Structure 1
Amino acid sequence: MLDDFMTRAALAGVGVACAAAPLGSFVVWRRMAYFGDATSHAAILGVALSLALQMSIFAGAMAVALGMALTVTMLAGRGYGMDTLLGVLAHSALAFGLVAVSFLSGVRIDLMAYLFGDILAVSRGDLLIIWGGALLVIGLIAWRWSALLTATLSEELAYASGIDPKREQLILTLSLAVTVAVAIKVVGALLIAAMLIIPAAAARPLARTPEQMALAAALTGGASAVIGMQAAFTLDTPAGPTIVCVAAILFALTSLLRPFLKS
């Protein structure tokens, strides 16, 4: 079954959706869209370092994404607005990554594949990494679900409940870095944030509880990946952007139906 590249692509898309769905819900609830953007843009610098040091792309992308997320967390509240800080770091990391790639002599790299993904080229080894990362993220979020929800609702309530909001933020940061690292092969660095945010936003009108929203986001993301991949194969369009387009269409549909769904 895994000899079929379409089957591998479908499994990869669903794996990324499963990793991104619960995390994307917290990104939406905490209004952290730019945070995801900054972390995903930093992954290109991780790709350049991985190629230069001849190490795993997954390891390099995760290390730099985690470093970026931790940097943002440490610099927050030091005189700059969060949107300004994230904008500077996101675009700087992307620029340094692209410049670093240009210095790699003797290394052939399909930059478009890392910017926009190449889901149809996913291998069996990639599937193991994607699903391993997805299971790790799901496990972390499930383990800290109640604490994460409390910290998201109110830091004061979290402290009163004996929960450290900074620790929960660190868990989200680690989960985000893992998701970025496993998703870069599927949708690329420029579209990872879209797969975090759009399925979760599309799922919001469908859910009445946080758990329902995370599940609906996973289903929406998985459907977007499978339908988008099939559409890209049929229409001969880029797979990553097509997947995001399908997710955007689903978001538009649930937004239009929101008054009826909430009645």
Structure 2
Amino acid sequence: MLDDFLWRATLAGVGVTLAAAPLGCFIVWRRMAYFGDATAHASMLGIALSLALSLPILPSVLFIALIMAITVSKFSGRSYAMDTLLGVMAHSALAIGLVAVSFLSGIRLDLMAYLFGDILAVSKMDLFIIWGGALFIIGLIRFRWSGLLLSILDKDLALASNFSPKREQLILTIALAIVVAVAIKVVGVLLIVAMLIIPAAAARPFSQTPEMMVVLAALIGSSSSILGLRASYLFDTPTGPTIVCIATGLFITSSLIRKLKTRHNLNLDNNEN
């Protein structure tokens, strides 16, 4: 089965979405979209470092993503507003990475594959790395679920329950860096945050509990990957952007269903009154 590139691509897409779904929910709850954007854009520096020093891409990207994420966490709230700091660092990191790559000579570089992903080129080793990272993220969030959730709901309650909000923030930062590193092959630098946020946002209107939102986000993300891969194959379109377009369509559909449901409930209340 793994000798078929379409099966490898499908399994890679599902693996990435299973890792991104729970983490995406925390990003939505904490309103950390720009934080994820800065970490993802910084990965371009990791790619440049990998190519310049002939190092494997995964550890190089993970190293740079961790540095960016920890730096943002340390300096946020000191001199600039959080959104300003993240905006500056996100776009600066991407620009510096692209400029650094342009100075590399004698290296054949498919820049579009790094920016938008190349899921159809996923190898067996890439697949093992993606699923290894996904299982690690799922296990980490499952193990730290209570602390992560309490640190979002109420920091004082988290402290009273012997959970350190700063430590939980660091755990979330590490998890985000890992997801960015393993997802580059599938959706690329520019689309990683979309796959973190859009499935979680689409799942939010139908979720009564945090656990339900994580499960629905995983289902929406996996469906987006499978349908996007199929649509890309049929219509000969870029695979990563097609997956994100399918996820966006599901988000729009969920928003419309939510509005119709809200309007229906209002009509019922008016009729009862």
TM-score range, shorter chain: over 0.9
Distance (whole Å) between structure 2 residues aligned to residue 106 and residue 67 of structure 1: 28
Larger Rg: 2
Tell me which amino acid in the other structure corresponds to 2:207: A
| 1:253 aligned partner | 253
How far did 1:207 drift?
1.2
How far did 1:261 drift?
5.6
Distance (whole Å) between structure 2 residues aligned to residue 151 and residue 199 of structure 1: 22
Query: Structure 1 residue 190 and structure 2 residue 193: aligned?
Result: no
| 2:37 aligned partner | 37
How far did 1:104 drift?
1.1
| Residues 26-69 of structure 1: per-residue CA shift (max 9 Å, x gap) | 00000000000000000111011011111111111111111100
**Paired residues, what number?**
263
| 1:24 aligned partner | 24
Q: Is the 8 A contact 1:206 1:261 kept in 2?
A: no
TM-score (norm 2): 0.95
* SS of aligned partner of 1:185: helix
| 2:148 aligned partner | 148
How far did 1:260 drift?
5.4
Distance (whole Å) between structure 1 residues aligned to residue 235 and residue 44 of structure 2: 28
Distance (whole Å) between structure 2 residues aligned to residue 45 and residue 236 of structure 1: 30
Query: Structure 1 residue 243 and structure 2 residue 243: aligned?
Result: yes
What stretches of structure 2 of length at least 5 have no aligned partner? Answer: 266-273
Distance (whole Å) between structure 2 residues aligned to residue 74 and residue 257 of structure 1: 40
| 1:111 aligned partner | 111
| 1:80 aligned partner | 80
| 1:66 aligned partner | 66
Distance (whole Å) between structure 2 residues aligned to residue 79 and residue 52 of structure 1: 34
How far did 1:163 drift?
1.0
| 2:93 aligned partner | 93
Q: Judge which range, 46-55 or 25-34, deviates more.
A: 46-55
Distance (whole Å) between structure 2 residues aligned to residue 233 and residue 67 of structure 1: 37
| Residues 166-206 of structure 1: per-residue CA shift (max 9 Å, x gap) | 00000000000000000000000000000000000001112
How far did 1:136 drift?
0.8
* SS of aligned partner of 1:55: coil
Distance (whole Å) between structure 2 residues aligned to residue 232 and residue 206 of structure 1: 28
Tell me which amino acid in the other structure corresponds to 1:230: R
Distance (whole Å) between structure 1 residues aligned to residue 145 and residue 204 of structure 2: 18
Distance (whole Å) between structure 2 residues aligned to residue 247 and residue 44 of structure 1: 24
Distance 1:78 1:55, change over 3 A: same
Moved >3 Å (runs of 4+): 259-263
Distance 1:261 1:207, change over 3 A: farther
| Residues 200-224 of structure 1: per-residue CA shift (max 9 Å, x gap) | 0001112110000001101100000
How far did 1:259 drift?
4.2
TM-score (norm 1): 0.98
Distance 1:232 1:211, change over 3 A: same
Distance (whole Å) between structure 2 residues aligned to residue 203 and residue 261 of structure 1: 15
Identical amino acids, percent of aligned pairs: 66
Distance (whole Å) between structure 2 residues aligned to residue 261 and residue 234 of structure 1: 34
Q: Where do residues 1-16 of structure 1 align in structure 2 (5 Å cutoff)? A: 1-16=1-16
| 2:268 aligned partner | none
Distance (whole Å) between structure 2 residues aligned to residue 142 and residue 117 of structure 1: 28
Q: Is the 8 A contact 1:205 1:261 kept in 2?
A: no
| Residues 109-152 of structure 1: per-residue CA shift (max 9 Å, x gap) | 10000000000110101001100111111111000001110001
Tell me which amino acid in the other structure corresponds to 2:21: A
